[in-house]
A and B are shown apart, each in its own frame.
Chain A
Amino acid sequence: MAVEFWNIPDGLIKAFYAVAGLAVIIFVLGFWGKIRIWSKGMDADQELKGMGPVGLIWMSIIKFFSSDCMFAKRVFPRSVIRGLMLMGIMWGFTLLFLGTAGRSLNYYVVQFLEGGIWLLFSLILDIAGFLLLVGTGYGLYRKYIGKPERMVKSSQDGILLVLLFLVVISGFFVEGIRIAALNPPAADWSPVGFVCGAMIKALVGTEALKPLYIGIWTIHFLFAFSFIAYIPFSKYEHIFAAQISTYLFEEKWKDKEIPRDWVFQEEIAQRRQARLNSSNQQHESKAT
């Protein structure tokens, strides 16, 4: 079963909640700022017509889980390996996000992560973490070693990737040390964590596991919450926007003879009416 806050002093748990609260506030403020900007845009596209912030958030969520987005439809034709990298990051990130939400639910609301469910849950999250690790690892490799011939240099992009990589790897270390120290039954259902734990134990010995755990756990949560707070202010805001732009581009011509944007239907109707009125008036004045 899940072990929350094992070996963590009370003071640090309080700090954890404080940092988490602060990160969420910063995230929400930044995210809301973005959505508010989108909603102030001109209404030209039928799909987005009249949508306020809530509608746009909903669309972002729905389109995130579309097959075009989840299977990186527009990336694979350009590069299979980058498509796999993106899928690794996206699937890993999503599963870990949902898993963390599930663990919170289990801890604060209703305990359901027990027995077989817990084992399967552990395995899935381990695989998710591994996918995310490989994805971000390849991202770092591409950025710094196998560089594309042309690229926009941005230190922010590098910081973000490193941060995400460190969040995942420190997460595996935390899990591994806990497994190594507690030696729980069926630990092999968390294979990556299990291997990490065995390696760390061999390196530092059993005595150092507990203090090391506190240090790495602290680093892990600081990295994780820094990342969350930074999302809406960084290029990672694309995780809310890219699925909508992909959808609009892919659906541009579906069942349409003319593109969906630039179709200011109401204005066209108004202009048509104005033209007809003017033509009728001219006709009437000629008739009289």
Chain B
Amino acid sequence: MAEKPFDFMEGLTKKELIELDACTRCNECLAWCPVQDVTDDPNISPPARIHAYKGYIEKTHTLKGQLFSSKKVSVEELKEFKDSLWKCALCGTCGEVCTVGIDTKKLWWSVRRKIAESEVGCPEVLEKGPLQNYYKVRSPFPFELVHKYKIWFPDDIQMADKAEIGYYEGCGCTWDAPQMAEGAVRLLNAAGPFTMLDPDKSWCCGFPQAAGSGDWSIMAELANHMVKAFTDKGIKRLAISCPMCLDIMKYLWPYFYGDEMPFETLSTAELLADLVEEGKLKFTKRIEETVTYHDPCAMARPFMGKPILDAPRQLLNAVPGMNLINMERHGKLSRCCGGSAGERAVNSDISANIAKELFLEAKKTGADTMLTNCPVCYLNLATKTHAAPHPVVEEWRALEDPLKINDLTQYLAALL
């Protein structure tokens, strides 16, 4: 009996199937796509991917496909498609500018899951690394969780055992951008008592699994464990530094947990902005500097949540003397840093060159410092941790009069 061809349609939603037919190939997205900026290859553009994937579905699900084409998609073709799919940084700009409202960010996410299920699977570097690590240490990084806070938690700060305000930094902050986490706890500490999970209980949010491998089997276990751990700490308001974690925890966890979160989940910037407004947090030092703020993709165009654009700006405007200016592309149309959704790991050249484009755009503002608020952006733009910077990044960082790059919370913590 002939082998049943892989079903590219199964598991896709009605909306996603409609979206595949909605693309007009108007080419608007190509003008905004950061990957196009550095590759100039329309074959790996959103319309090309939509056209290809639609073709796979038509092969097995339409009369035309049954009559006029082979039912099976060749492995070579599928590998090529997978490469294209993983060259995308899932920044979501294509969806934001799409003239027919295709929610591409979520569409690529679903298509990635489908391709991961097929015979070509995930990129090996992820499959054997972050995705496997989860099963061993409940984190995409290979390090034991008990060491989680040792590299960044400040000795001069004491966290409460239980408190209404909780903080979760996210694995990316701990291992790739510890400065972010340190800045956040200094600010939270200045505003009052806060608590965090014991390090061994502070698992991954599940983003790499959900967005990468399609292994959702672990999500329910993970969400239930984490929600219970946060609740046991008496947390009512949870600040999360990593915007990818926030998106997953706020919008996907309720599905796996089976209820609304028993606590409020916010980005660290949102909670800090509230604390400033409530008068619990004040920046006392004056700084005569011009800064520009880079809206990370995960905050400007989240997978599921609402964009978080105002809170970081409210915080910066609360600093005496600071001059905040926007880049030409900011807010919902901000540029991508090139690091997210596996881009940095799978296609480091593309990732570094996209980062360079963002850096050059920030330079055009004449600002002294570019701030961001995402561990991936921070890592890709201002690498100071274990990950080796790409030669392209080294090149632009070595420019005369370099633009300083910093994390929002780390920067603000120095102004308390």
Contacts and interface: CB of A to CB of B under 8 A. Distances in A.
B45 A152 contact: yes
B256 A245 contact: no
Given A150-B30, A275-B259, A74 B100 contact: yes
Interface in A229-288: 233, 235, 237-238, 240-242, 244-250, 252-253, 258-259, 261-264, 267-275
A270 B101 contact: no
Contacts of A244: 15, 18, 22
Given A41-B16, A42-B11, A268-B259, A246 B101 contact: yes
Contacts, number: 172
- Interface of chain B: mostly helix, strand, loop or mixed: helix
Nearest to B254: A268
21 contacts: A33-B62, A36-B61, A37-B62, A41-B9, A42-B13, A42-B14, A51-B14, A78-B28, A79-B28, A150-B31, A150-B36, A154-B25, A154-B51, A235-B23, A242-B24, A244-B18, A245-B22, A245-B101, A259-B251, A261-B106, A272-B258
Interface of A: 29-30, 33-34, 36-45, 48, 51, 56, 72, 74-75, 78-79, 82, 86, 148-154, 157, 233, 235, 237-238, 240-242, 244-250, 252-253, 258-259, 261-264, 267-275
Contacts of A246: 22, 100-101
Q: Which of B9, B15, B24, B31 neighbours the largest number of chain A CB atoms within 10 Å of its CB?
A: B15
A36 B61 CA distance: 9
B126 interface: no
A14 B224 CA distance: 70
Contact of A37 (B23, B36, B61, B98): B61
B42 A150 contact: yes
Interface in B34-93: 36, 40, 42-43, 45, 47-48, 51, 57, 61-64
Given A152-B48, A235-B25, A271-B255, 7 more contacts: A40-B17, A41-B13, A86-B99, A150-B27, A152-B43, A238-B24, A275-B224
B26 interface: yes
Contact of B14 (A45, A253, A262, A270): A45
B67 to A, nearest CB: 11
Contacts of B63: 29, 33
A38 B14 CA distance: 5
B277 interface: no
Nearest to A253: B306
B163 interface: no
Given A42-B14, A151-B27, A271-B258, A37 B19 contact: no
Contacts of A86: 99
A72 B61 CA distance: 31
Contacts of B98: 74, 249
A242 B220 CA distance: 35
Contact of A151 (B19, B30, B57, B256): B30
A271 B255 CA distance: 8
A40 B9 contact: yes
